């Protein structure tokens, strides 16, 4: 219920701000905001991939990918043992 109330209040505030704001300026400011936010996420998350901490092993070194096998191939492998 509280989420709905926050949404309604936000909608009313947004309508009043929208009526007073220059739309072109708003689009440019929002675009710059998205670019800065995207850059922050890339730098923050990308550094985790490029420079794993010494206490943690990287996911690629600890995960071993096994090839997919069909049931017939699996049965053949089991018979060989």
Using 50, 70 and 90 to split pLDDT, how confident is the model at 21? confident
User: Which residues fall within 8 angstroms of residue 77, CB to CB, at 6 or more apart?
Assistant: 69
Token pair recorded at residue 24: 């072109």
- The per-residue pLDDT of the chain, averaged, comes to 80
Instruction: Please report, for the chain, the start and end positions of each structural domain, with discontinuous segments joined by +.
Output: 21-50
pLDDT tens-digit series, residues 60-74: 555 565 666 566 666
Torsion of CA 44, 47, 48, 49, to 10 degrees: 130
Q: What is the pLDDT of residues 26-76, one digit of tens each?
A: 899 999 999 999 999 999 888 777 776 665 555 555 556 566 656 666 677
Query: With bands split at pLDDT 50, 70 and 90, how would you rate the model's confidence at 6?
Result: very high
């Amino acid at each position: 219920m509280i989420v709905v109330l926050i949404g309604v209040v936000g909608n009313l505030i947004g309508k009043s701000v929208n009526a007073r704001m220059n739309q072109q300026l708003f689009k440019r400011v929002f675009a710059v905001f998205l670019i800065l936010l995207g850059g922050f996420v890339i730098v923050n998350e990308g550094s985790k991939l490029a420079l794993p901490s010494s206490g943690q092993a990287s996911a690629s070194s600890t995960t071993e990918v096994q090839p997919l096998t069909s049931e017939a191939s699996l049965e053949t492998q089991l018979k060989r043992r």
